[in-house]
A and B are shown apart, each in its own frame.
Chain A
Amino acid sequence: MSDKFTNVWTIAEAFEGKLKPVSFELLARGRSLADACGEQLVSVLIGAKVGDAELNSLISHGADLVISVQDPALEAFIVETYSNVLLDLVEQRKPNIILAAATNNGRTLMPHAAMRLHTGLTADCTDLQIDLATGDLLQTRPAIGGNILATIKTPNHRPQMATVRPRSTQPLPEDPSRVGKIEQVQLKPELLDKRVMRLSFKAEAADESNLQDSDVIVAGGRGMKKADNFVQLHDLARLLGGKVGASRDAVDRGWARYPQQIGLSGKTVLPKLYIAMGISGAIQHLAGMKTSETIVAVNTDPNAAIFQVADFGIVGDAFQVLPELISRLEERKS
């Protein structure tokens, strides 16, 4: 199957001329797949205003080739046009694997292109491996609210496509001695789809909206008792360089805002450190955070389900632990 189709592609994403960190995370994933297949790793950038230094950093983070299609007309993400550009490249060059970020744009472009390419797409993969017997991509993702992990293949269609959540991999260390090529590809005017217009863009105060980009999340639940007590969570988050999240119960009570909600009907997060204060650990909450690298939980109930997923649990009162922890961290800082 994979004879005609070779190389691993990653779709780089940029915002206002700067590559997003996820572009490098995808290269780390792609590098190990390309090495396992003995293929090249290609980073594809569709957009505008991304300079050579940025493109070179894709090479120093693992790419062998960078395909850059840049044009002022590509500044706004218009999925129809981006999908046309990607399809055109795919049809000419026939990649074996395409990885993209599970961002709102990546999660729009990939299914759009996969439908037209008549191939499979697996969303939000947590693990990607090559099946050495067949050369197929093994795509692992949580299924059914995080209760099981399913491994999925695209045996008879190419390219094999997958999205990966931001922050689920570390980028490779930068290696300035790596060599690679940058290929600038002209946008073909006929690929522009003019049906949809972006009228304006308003940057949003980053705060909780990019909870998912945060390495540290301090989350509170009903055990925090009232809105005022969330101040302590903000203090702790600030000391740890993190953000504040919440259970649905806390959001429903108005102690936190909906963009802060973590779980099945909120955000899925994968931080390095997740601290749960007064959260019971309902399955819907766990579905959004249980793959966090390290989980710390404080709860008065020794049988709280959150302790099942905790790496470090304290059975105790959050209002005793929080002030002590905050003052100890302040001491360490000074």
Chain B
Amino acid sequence: MLKIIVPIKQVPETGNVKMDPETGTMVRDGVVSIVNPLDLYSIETALMLKEKYGAVVTVLTMGPLNAVKALKEAISMGCDEGYILSDRAFAGADTWATAYVLMNAIQHIGDFDLILAGERATDGDTGQVGPNLAAGLDIPLATYVRKVNELDPEQRTITVERSVEEGIETLRLPLPCLLTVVKEISYPRLPTLRGKKRAKTVDIPVLTAEDLNLKREYLGLKGSPTRVVSTKSPKVTRNGQMRTIKEDKDVSTAVDDLINFLEERKLI
């Protein structure tokens, strides 16, 4: 049986992110947390492979204890088990420090054949953790995977299509390996009633820095090579020129003005 690991992230629902205009930081009160929308595609890919070849699908997340909700959602979609990596020392981790925890947790959990990560998380929006993990674990990597063509359980290889700006390449990777997948790969299924029931009762182990035997100096904010030194809210309005079309004759004046404007800016 294949063993597939899907790292997922809980993110704030960006539709209602509010910024504090004074401090320029995110207002976290009342923000709803969801599974990173792009991780639904890696979950779906894992479940499709499970249906086709048979697999145990393990989801894991590093985050606060309430991120267990994200794991339960994945389980209600059909994933088999979950682990939450939670420790105060993990707080403030950048992608390097996140990948450090994830890779150690994956090694701790045991053997695996495939890791499926999302293209990027909609909050940090870096898309770095997947490639970081593959490098850290020294397993082959294919990013921006849009299609799994074939998995050969005998040869232990997987053939995938990967998008680049100029077109599509077909790659063959040996197992174990890591893929980051893009939206085109599938359409995520909804949780099922049976899945929801299972999610309620399933036990989700918590793993801490101590459980994983991690080096303190590599954890969280302290262990992160990058530091946010300042934030600012970008100018919200450009105070552009406005024209209003009230009657038919305004159309040509407005368009005249627009053409002049585009000429001035050397855009036409």
A interface residues with partner B (beta carbon < 8 Å) = 15, 76-77, 79-80, 83, 103-105, 107-108, 110-116, 118-124, 138, 142-157, 193, 195-204, 209-210, 212-213, 216, 240, 258, 264-265, 272-273, 283-284, 287, 290, 294-296, 302, 307-317, 320-321, 324-325, 328-329, 332
Q: Is the CB of A202 within 8 A of B167?
A: yes
Q: Is the CB of A296 within 8 A of B229?
A: no
Which 5 pairs of residues, A with B, have the shortest CB-CB distance? A316-B245, A120-B225, A120-B226, A111-B131, A111-B128
Q: Is the CB of A313 within 8 A of B243?
A: yes
Chain B contact-residue range equals 35 or more
Interface string of B249-265 (1 = CB under 8 A from A): 01110111111011001
Residue of chain A at shortest CB distance from B128: A111
Q: Is the CB of B171 within 8 A of A144?
A: no
Bound Cα distance from A118 to B167, whole angstroms: 32
B contact residues around A200 at 8 Å (CB): 169-170
Bound Cα distance from A146 to B38, whole angstroms: 17
Bound Cα distance from A123 to B184, whole angstroms: 23
Scan residues 92-142 of chain B and give those whose CB is less than 8 A from a CB of chain A. 94-96, 99, 122-136, 140-142
Q: Is the CB of A150 within 8 A of B242?
A: no
A contact residues around B95 at 8 Å (CB): 111, 121
Residue of chain B at shortest CB distance from A76: B169
User: Total number of A-B contacts with CB less than 8 angstroms?
Assistant: 264
B30 within 8 A of A: no
**Stretch binding the partner chain, chosen from B55-63, B73-81, B190-198, B230-238:** B230-238
Residue of chain A at shortest CB distance from B97: A120
- Given A108-B143, A148-B24, A316-B251, also A138-B245 (CB < 8 A): no
A contact residues around B165 at 8 Å (CB): 103-104, 209-210, 212-213
Q: Could you give 21 example pairs across A and B, Cβ below 8 Å?
A: A104-B143, A108-B141, A108-B144, A112-B141, A114-B96, A120-B224, A120-B225, A142-B125, A195-B140, A196-B174, A196-B177, A201-B168, A258-B184, A273-B262, A284-B14, A295-B240, A302-B244, A308-B238, A316-B254, A320-B251, A329-B268
A contact residues around B188 at 8 Å (CB): none
Q: Is the CB of B170 within 8 A of A148?
A: no
Q: Is the CB of B250 within 8 A of A316?
A: yes
- In the complex, what's the smallest C-beta–C-beta distance from A51 to chain B, in angstroms? 19
Q: Is the CB of A273 within 8 A of B267?
A: yes
Q: Is the CB of A108 within 8 A of B131?
A: yes
| Contact pick for B243, options A197, A272, A290, A315, CB 8 Å | A315
Interface majority SS (helix, strand, loop, mixed), chain A: mixed
Q: Is the CB of A145 within 8 A of B250?
A: no
Bound Cα distance from A92 to B267, whole angstroms: 46
Q: Is the CB of A120 within 8 A of B96?
A: yes
Interface string of B154-168 (1 = CB under 8 A from A): 000001001111111
Interface string of B81-98 (1 = CB under 8 A from A): 000000000000011100
Q: Is the CB of A198 within 8 A of B229?
A: no
A contact residues around B255 at 8 Å (CB): 321, 324-325, 328
Q: Is the CB of B128 within 8 A of A123?
A: yes
Q: Is the CB of A321 within 8 A of B251?
A: yes
Give me 10 other A-B pairs in contact (C-beta within 8 A), A112-B134, A283-B14 excluded.
Answer: A103-B164, A116-B135, A144-B19, A151-B228, A193-B140, A265-B38, A308-B237, A312-B243, A321-B245, A328-B256
